[in-house]
Amino acid sequence: MSYIHRTIADLARSSPAQALFYQAVEEVLESLEPLLESDPIYRQNAIIERIVEPERQILFRVPWVDDEGQVRVNKGYRMEFNSALGPYKGGLRFHGSVNAGIIKFLGFEQIFKNALTGLAIGGAKGGANFDPKGRSDREIMRFCQSFMTELYRHIGPTIDVPAGDIGVGAREIGYLFGQYKRLTRRYDGVLTGKGLLWGGSYGRREATGYGCVYFAQNMLLGRGETIEGKTCLVSGAGNVAIYTIEKLYQFGARPITCSDSTGTLYDPHGIDLDALKRIKEEQRLSLREYLKEFPKAEFVPLEAYPEDGHAVWRFPGQVAFPCATQNELTEADARHLLANGCSCVSEGANMPSTPTAVELFVRERILYGPGKAANAGGVATSQLEMSQNAGMQQWSFEQVDQRLQGIMLDIYRRCSETAAEFGQPGNLVLGANIAGFRRVADAMLQQGVV
């Protein structure tokens, strides 16, 4: 049995029923094989065994009262995975599907993503199996307050700094921050993605989507092309998807799709950004609403998706941006993308492509930017927010955006150079995993067995 299979088997025994976590671990460990062979120090010091185990797992009850006066209970999580490079850092996800395995997969990915940014941040993730859909503002507020009433004792600006993810945006960060301040009497930079009036950073809202497009542009430039004029497929219709689409327009590209939990929207003229923001950011409605304003657009409801995949990847486009959720791009979807001439995939979401889809992209040698590299602009800008908070400053949008562009270029270079160093030029999966791992592992070695 290889050490990869032994590690996965051990995890399956000690942490049962966490399939997405094993998937994330397997992908990283497969990439690390050449490094672990050439450099035995990591195996000798049980770095793998240590890195797959969170330093601390916090699980808690979140009781709250809904608008009808009924008591509700959810499960809250914060997985503090690795602090070798800095304070724990990573988002909070509020979604009905959340469980320990999902938070562990996200926290594990976050370790390497944060390492790739070159900034001083460790890896963590948290959240709750709370579904914000259909909940009133007051219910969201009460839920966030209850969540923070437990979480506050575990976090701090140099300890653990949560942020947003699916279901957690500016509104939720506001309620969480308010309750933290009330409980601690401290005006700390303890969360990122804050409002601009109370310690937030310009550009954080846009950072993940913009960064993901910068990453695609860097990949294309490496092949002597640019994104200008290209037809693009985007999935998702939340924070990451919306600002991916915004930056695509700024770069002269044409994004023709987006999707949400009700279905896929296709507008051959290009998705209307104002309408998209209005429907999803302000009104929080289904993308189906778009047809009222643009009756010629097409909407494929979830029920009509192909059995082996997702409608969004069956439209023809040259560059794809999966920006919704994990495993939303299957091997069958990947085959359709390739057959339709797609030659570049930049992942805004975390682990959106299934393992066999990734294998296909790597084998076909298309430009493929894995999430932990391509979507790192969000967390990188969160670190810039922490830095501004620590210095009691607020930088301009242009300053932040310049830094973001520089960081995304550095990440691209780091991944490319590492892939070449290990004899697989262009394989950014290998490059991202080895480059991220090496930084964390070396810091762990230097800090002893902790």
Residues acting as catalytic residues: 125
Tell me if 382 contacts ligand 2IT by CB under 6 A: yes
Residue 380 C-beta: closest distance to ligand 2IT, Å: 8
Which of the residues 138 through 177 are near ligand 2IT (CB under 6 A)?
Answer: 163, 165
Tokens representing residue 16 in the block: 């049962």
77 φ, ψ to 5°?
-140, 145
d(CA 338, CA 364): 9
Which of the residues 323 through 352 are near ligand 2IT (CB under 6 A)?
Answer: 350
| List of residues contacting ligand NDP (CB under 6 A) | 164-167, 169, 208, 236-241, 260-262, 280, 323-325, 348-350, 375, 378
Identity of the residue, 280 or 439, whose beta carbon is nearer to ligand NDP in the bound complex? 280
Residue number of the CB closest to ligand NDP reads: 238
* Residue 227 interaction partner, one of ligand 2IT, ligand NDP, none, beta carbon < 5-8 Å per kind: none
d(CA 289, CA 352): 26
Task: Give the strand pairing for 344-346 and 319-321.
Answer: parallel
Q: Which of 229, 416, 411 is nearest to 319 (CA)?
A: 229
**Position among 265, 287, 324, 379 found at the interface with ligand 2IT (CB under 6 A):** 379
- CB atoms closer than 10 angstroms to residue 340: 16
Tell me if 126 contacts ligand 2IT by CB under 6 A: no
Q: Helix or strand or coil: residue 216? A: helix
Residue 124 C-beta: closest distance to ligand 2IT, Å: 8
Residue 345 C-beta: closest distance to ligand 2IT, Å: 18
Residue 61 C-beta: closest distance to ligand NDP, Å: 24
d(CA 8, CA 5): 5
Which of the residues 232 through 291 are near ligand 2IT (CB under 6 A)?
Answer: none
Identity of the residue, 79 or 323, whose beta carbon is nearer to ligand NDP in the bound complex? 323
DSSP 121-156: -EEEEEEES---TT--HHHHHHHHHHHHHHHGGG-B
Q: Which of 196, 230, 201, 194 is nearest to 213 (CA)?
A: 230
- Interface residues with ligand 2IT (CB under 6 A) are 89-91, 110, 113, 163, 165, 192, 350, 378-379, 382
